Amino acid sequence: MSLYIIQNTGEMTECENKEVALSSENVLVVISHTQKKIFTWIGVQSAPQSKFACARETARIRMELGYRIINLEESATSNEFLEAVDEACNVTSREKIVPKPPLKKIKPKPVKPAPKPKPKPKPKPKVKKDTKAVAREKTEEKRRYSATAVETALLDVEHILKQLEVLNPIEGKIRDYVVVGDTLYIAPENLDKSQTESKVSLPDGSFVAEDYISRLFLENGKIIAIELWRDSQ
């Protein structure tokens, strides 16, 4: 058995104290080798960064061990999970090491003899560029850059968030996050204020949001926002 606390930096800290682990501010990963399961436990006051890091780490561990993932909210803590926590807090540190797949031996490739150098081709005569054509290319490049800058400036975050507020919610679902451009917001708190603490700063890497369904918001044929919804129960 192994029990880890997922920090908001994405690091996994091993824990042997049940009372410390089951804090509402924590996100936990418990690996049960006897049940062949990976439990995730989300505290009601846990940070969004820890939740996304937990999804990334459990996906990695499942690829290594092949165990089934059981996702739990704090309000839905099960006896099966608590039994796994008890076992993880009582086993020796040697038993709590997550096994890693053995490294494959790589056979050295045979060294091929260096090819004979090819004769250098004769340099082609330089062709003089049409100065007018060069000037037209530069003008066209500036025009494309200006058009891109104008299009980016038209992305009004507050307008988008207000548009999302008037949409009907998905029945039986709760919206946790909204992605606008390259920014992630916590929803629905402070959703009408783009320059608030509702912005989430995440570390680089990939995140598996398998417990969420997404809803796209489009304007003028372009996707400008993505909502992430989860079951309300």
pLDDT tens figures, 144-194: 755 554 444 445 777 777 777 778 888 888 887 888 877 777 775 545 444
Q: Is residue 36 part of a domain?
A: yes
Closest by alpha carbon to 62, among 52, 54, 73?
A: 54
Q: How far apart are CA 38 and CA 190, in angstroms?
A: 34
Among 90, 105, 127, the domain-final residue is: 90
Q: Is residue 6 part of a domain?
A: yes
CA 119-123-125 angle, 5° bins: 160
- CA Rg, the chain, in Å? 27
Q: Is residue 148 part of a domain?
A: no
Q: What is the pLDDT of residues 7-64, one digit of tens each?
A: 888 888 888 888 888 888 989 998 888 888 889 999 989 888 888 888 888 888 888 8
Q: Give the domain extent around 165.
A: 157-231
Q: Is residue 130 part of a domain?
A: no
Peptide bond into 123 cis (omega under 30): no
Q: Is residue 187 part of a domain?
A: yes
The total number of structural domains that make up the chain: 2
Among 38, 57, 90, the domain-final residue is: 90
Q: What is the pLDDT of residues 91-141, one digit of tens each?
A: 544 444 455 555 555 566 677 777 777 777 877 777 666 677 778 888 887
CATH of the domain at 67: 3.40.20.10
Q: What is the pLDDT of residue 188?
A: 54
Q: Is residue 62 part of a domain?
A: yes
Enter the pTM of the model.
0.41
Q: How far apart are CA 230 and CA 40, in angstroms?
A: 16
Q: Is residue 102 part of a domain?
A: no
- Point out the least confidently predicted range of 9-18, 192-201, 211-220: 192-201
Q: Is residue 214 part of a domain?
A: yes
Among 90, 109, 132, the domain-final residue is: 90
